[in-house]
Structure 1
Amino acid sequence: MRVATSTLYHQGLASMNNQQSSLLHVQQQLGTGRRVLNPSDDPVAATRALGVSQAGAVNSQYTTSRKQANTSLGLEENTLQTVTTTIQNIQTLLVNAGNGTLSDNDRASLATTLQGQYDQLLGLGNADDGNGNYLFAGLQSSTAPFAKNAAGGAVYQGDMGHQLLQVDVSRQMEAGNNGAEVFMSVTGNAGYVLKGNAANTGTGTYSAISVTDPSNPLYGHSLTLTFQTDVGTGNMQYSIMDNTTGAAVGAPTDYADGAAINVAGVSFSVKGTPANGDIMTAQPAQQAGADVFANLKAVISALKAPINAGTNQAAANANLQNVIATGIRQFGNSLDNVLTVRSSVGSRMQELDALDTIGENRALSNSQTLSNLQDLDYAAAITEYYQRQTALQGAQQSFMQIQGMNLFKYL
């Protein structure tokens, strides 16, 4: 079989090119530290590496979301800590306001101090993250959640939504709480709140109300206690109306100063001398007004009103004491609510810490898997490099010998 000289040249050149290409490929592997430079090097490994890289990118995004959620929750916790202190200061001032020896000027001074606490609470309700995003506005983060109306009261302008962040594969987390949850809500177990009536002319004052039987069928109903004089005996009596059903609860009962009144699973007492037609209400805390701003405003207004000496001074004092007692109960409920929200914030931050640990382990696992799929075995690569280098040198020397096989050299 005759082999053309051109064929020998082409085959020799092709052999050298192949060996040089293989040597260059190994050099690139050594330079990059990666075994798989092109999908064709190892299609299975390249496919798996792409999937692992995508999983790592998603895991990195979860990490970023957790950092953002942790920052937002940390800012909320710091703000709620100040809210807690402010409410405790208000409670102390309300207890001081109940001192019967205070003068009108003393009460006006307390009202001024409470107004300062009111403004501070309003400022805390409008706290932001430093970038113009309000913490308690719900989804309306660019709008201040609380604004004053014409009467000086606070109006909530945010919404009831929550900013949700995807912090893990199957976990979305609320990155904050809206203002209604913090400043206009009470816990589900807040119980009842007693209220008097500004039009009452007697000296009846009520005690704290306690829950005695939450399984009572009437528990949770709004009740009205009305005092009236029995036309037959002349004794003061009280009757109770269930405002939820519109039906009377039991028969009228003779009033006894300081005696316990047990109804609808709750118990309280009334002291003093109620007048005919005086009214008191017992409402579930959710219905009795959970707005801290409105509740504080009511107490401030009551303290600002002077109590003039006269026939109605005792009644005015009694009404003021009832307003203060209601305020103390309402702010106790508000404090419990804020503490509950803070507990929720703390639980979420603790969960984020746990998810961070899981995310770090997942990132480490992905990194290890990618290393196994892509990273170069340097010992094997260096051995192959020398092998390719030797093969290239052999191909070159072989080509040189073939090049020398020419009959014209013997002419």
Structure 2
Amino acid sequence: MRISSKTIFDNGVGQLGTLQSSLAKTQQQLATGRRVLTPADDPIASARALEVTQSQSINTQLATNRSNARSSLSQEEVALTSATQLYQDVKELVVKAGAGSLTNKDRESIAVELEGRLQDLLGIANTADGSGGYIFSGFKDSIPFTLNGTGATYQGDQGERTLQVGSSRKISISDSGTAIFENNTTGNGRFKTGADPANYDRGGTGIISPGAVTDPSALTGHQYAINFTVVPATPGVPKVTTYTVMDLTLGTPVPPAPDPADPIPYTSGKSISFDGLQFEIKGDPADLDTFSVDPSDQKSVFETMTDMLKALRQNGEGAAGQARLTNVLNQVNSSIDNASDNLLAVRASVGARMKELDYLDSSGEDLNIQYATTLSNLTEVDTIQAISLFTQQQINLEAAQKSYKTLTGLSLFNYIG
């Protein structure tokens, strides 16, 4: 078979080109640290690497979301901590205002201080989130609370903003103002006691306690009225004070008198018990004085503080005035306690969510390591193996170049003279 010089030259050039391409590819792999430079190098690894890269990008975005969620929850925690301290200050004012030695002027000074606390609480409730909205406004961007004559009006909604912080986990990054500042139970959480404001005009000095539940299974959830009757003393006959308990829901008297309609002798400080609840009335109620027992409901802390302000600015001197003030302060004290408990429950929820973010961060970091390892196995070059291959290819190319040079010198024309 005849082989022309042109064929020799073409084959040699082709082989050199192939070797140079292989050497260049290996050099590029070493330079980039990647084994798969184009999808054609390893289609299966390229497809798998694309999936892993997308998952890695999602994991990175979730980490960003968790950082944003932690920032929002930290802002809420700061606000709730401030509110907790403010509630404690209000309780101290309640105790201070209840002192019998204070004059109306002294109580006015406390009222002025309480007004400052009310404005402070309004500022906390209207805390901005740093992005044009408010922490406690729900989904709305409007200012959450504005003061009115009876407390404050909530202008937000019940929404809780959420962020995707895990592949299958969304977390609330805010709480509505209603849940924190308005949904506070009154009384002892099951029922609330109160005194008729007209007791003061009748000169009554009865003070009713917040009471407690003695038998939860016996509670009816009804409204009750404790009505007093006082027969004045006459020569040789002492004053007689009695009371009856009426179930206002059913419109019937309540035992435990032998006959439910019979009045019950009143003794100051003696426990009054019926239908699973118990409380005491102290002092000297006047004729026709009335006290109420109603199921607990929800009350805004702003309304509670406003009620206290109004009570402090009424006449609190004299036995009747002191009794009226004490009855209101007892209600305020219970409501502030319940508001504090509610606030602590929300803070616990915020803390639990922040703790969960820490766990998710740890899990996300582990996933990133796993994704990086997988990508390395799929696309990164084995440096030692690549260097060995590069050296071998370099030797092959040099040998091919030398042999080609020698081969191209063996031309027939060199011997024709």
Q: Does TM, scored on the shorter chain, surpass 0.5? A: yes
Structure 2 match to 1:394: 399
1:298 pairs with one of 272, 295, 307: 307
| 1:5-404 equivalent positions in 2, closer than 5 A | 5-140=5-140, 142-149=141-148, 151=149, 153-186=151-184, 190-200=189-199, 201=202, 202-218=204-220, 221-229=221-229, 236-243=242-249, 249-250=254-255, 251-252=260-261, 253-257=263-267, 258-285=269-296, 287=297, 289-307=298-316, 314-404=319-409
| Cα distance in structure 2, aligned partners of 1:152 and 1:276 | 31
- Report the AA paired with residue 245 of structure 2: S
Number of paired residues? 399
Q: Would you say the 8 A contact 2:86–2:117 is kept in 1?
A: yes
| Cα distance in structure 1, aligned partners of 2:389 and 2:362 | 41
Change (3 A) 1:222 1:292: farther
| Cα distance in structure 2, aligned partners of 1:227 and 1:75 | 50
Shift of 1:230: 9.2
Q: Would you say the 8 A contact 2:185–2:335 is kept in 1?
A: no
| Cα distance in structure 1, aligned partners of 2:14 and 2:384 | 28
Output the TM-score relative to the length of structure 1.
0.89
Shift of 1:246: 6.2
| Cα distance in structure 2, aligned partners of 1:101 and 1:382 | 94
Change (3 A) 1:263 1:65: farther
Q: Deviations over 1:18-45 (max 9, x none)?
A: 1111111000011011111112222222
Q: Would you say the 8 A contact 1:242–1:249 is kept in 2?
A: no
Unaligned runs of 5+ residues in structure 2 are: 232-238
User: Percent identity of the aligned residues?
Assistant: 38
Shift of 1:57: 1.1
The alignment partner of 2:135 has SS state of coil
- Report the AA paired with residue 36 of structure 1: V
| Cα distance in structure 2, aligned partners of 1:110 and 1:119 | 14
Q: Moved runs in structure 1, 4+ residues, more than 4 A?
A: 245-250
Q: Deviations over 1:35-76 (max 9, x none)?
A: 111122222222222222111111111111111111111111
Q: Deviations over 1:96-143 (max 9, x none)?
A: 111122111011111111111111111111112344331111112x32
Shift of 1:266: 2.0
The alignment partner of 1:136 has SS state of coil
The alignment partner of 1:237 has SS state of strand
The alignment partner of 2:224 has SS state of strand
RMSD of the alignment, in Å? 2.4
